[in-house]
Amino acid sequence: MASSSSSSLPAAWAAAVRAGAVAPALQAAVWACLAMSAMLVAEAAWMGLASLAAAAARRLRGYGYRWEPMAAPPDVEAPAPAPAEFPMVLVQIPMYNEKEVYKLSIGAACALTWPPDRIIIQVLDDSTDPFVKELVELECKEWASKKINIKYETRWEFVNYNVCLMTRIQKMSLDYHFKVEQESGSFMHAFFGFNGTAGVWRVSAINQSGGWKDRTTVEDMDLAVRASLKGWEFLYVGDIRVKSELPSTFQAYRHQQHRWTCGAANLFRKMAWEIITNKEVSMWKKHHLLYSFFFVRRAIAPILTFLFYCIVIPLSAMVPEVTIPVWGLVYIPTAITIMNAIRNPGSVHLMPFWILFENVMAMHRMRAALSGLLETARANDWVVTEKVGDQVKDELDVPLLEPLKPTECAERIYIPELLLALYLLICASYDFVLGNHKYYIYIYLQAVAFTVMGFGFVGTRTPCS
């Protein structure tokens, strides 16, 4: 009898600690996450409605902007200069050891339609590989001897989105970014974050805003925010497409997402007070920049996704005293998923994979956001996104990345993903055997996603030499 009594003491003590300390802290985390979830779904709904209104307005009256088509440029063979209404245009092409796509980039710029005496094309080559530098130089010399034409484009169109499931999921997220975030920002506030390419800037706007700055890894967004605070307006033209390439290796995508997420959060830290004290824009635009553009989308979104769906919900499955309302557990994530699916009707069948993949990537985005907000040593890490020229194999004669097969040895093991997978498996198994929350189906699926990505079975890989 004494033995039975003594053996029950640790269990009773553990239950008391769980009910008295763990459960209240976890319940507080649940309510904090629910508050952030409400902010996120409200922002998504507002942007969705604004983007639909923008689409309707564009069809009816062209956003309220008025423009007339320019006269056709003079014959490129004619010696006479172009009419004065054709502004001087500078096209800049940054390069960094990109032997797979240098021909495409330079050729695309030189194949545009614009009077030759009104266009300057700069190839900004920072390559460290002497062979690549020589190739770029030869290509520039070849095009310099030709007659060229020029026209501009703005919305990204992904040439390699069907390479693998990871690139298809990226396309879904970026299509939503352009169709909803950029469209609504342009329509409601004449502002959106410049993505660094496929855009046309006035030189006077760049100069008046203080020029390019390298204080963060998102110098394009930095310039856009400063220009907006100077009163410049932005126009998103979603009907025009420009070809772009998605990172198709998991490692390249992780580096890209760290740079984008960390840089935006770090810019928020650096510019928040400047936005608050600005005297040249309205309170409405200040609110949009501080709350919607930075706080909700660049700070709350990456932190909430990982904290709530990968930490709090699984842990609550092991603490019966903690409850999560169905509206926060089911209705809000379902609403956000539906709003994304509406703008990606051709990819509805991929939404479950999109959810699981985005939750895994949220781990990296949260770490990057905190790094930027706290300005840690990694806040200014810059790794150039690898280009592989997936879409032009025959033209470039370059070995392409090949889909990674589960039967092959992965190039790299990702320890953080595997540790999270173990944590999720423990939580799911506890809920399945001893718990009463019935979260284990979702948690098991998420554990599988972390495991698959942890072993590198996602994206493409570089073929062995």
Distances, alpha carbon 199 to alpha carbons 14, 61, 94, 220, 326, in Å:
59, 23, 14, 10, 43
- Spatial distance between the Cα atoms of 437 and 271, rounded to a whole number of angstroms: 43
- SS3 (DSSP) at 156: strand
Tell how strand 119-125 and strand 402-403 pair up: unpaired
- SS3 (DSSP) at 119: strand
- Spatial distance between the Cα atoms of 44 and 279, rounded to a whole number of angstroms: 29
- Under a CB-based contact definition with an 8 Å cutoff, are residues 446 and 359 in contact? yes
- SS3 (DSSP) at 92: strand
To 5 degrees, how large is the angle CA 157–CA 55–CA 91? 40
- Residue of 125, 220, 381, 394 marked catalytic: 220
- Under a CB-based contact definition with an 8 Å cutoff, are residues 280 and 228 in contact? no
Tell how strand 241-244 and strand 155-158 pair up: parallel
Nearest to 165 by CA among 459, 462, 464: 459
For tokens 């799911």, name the residue: 428
390 included as an active-site residue: no
- Spatial distance between the Cα atoms of 204 and 95, rounded to a whole number of angstroms: 25
- Residue of 126, 175, 214, 431 marked catalytic: 126
Tokens representing 121?
């094309």
- Under a CB-based contact definition with an 8 Å cutoff, are residues 450 and 309 in contact? no
175 included as an active-site residue: no
- Spatial distance between the Cα atoms of 304 and 384, rounded to a whole number of angstroms: 27
Q: Which residues pair with 156 in a beta bridge?
A: 242
Max distance between CA atoms of the chain, in angstroms, equals 108
Q: Which residues pair with 277 in a beta bridge?
A: none
- Spatial distance between the Cα atoms of 335 and 441, rounded to a whole number of angstroms: 20
- Spatial distance between the Cα atoms of 335 and 360, rounded to a whole number of angstroms: 20
DSSP state of 436: S
Q: What residues act catalytically?
A: 126, 220
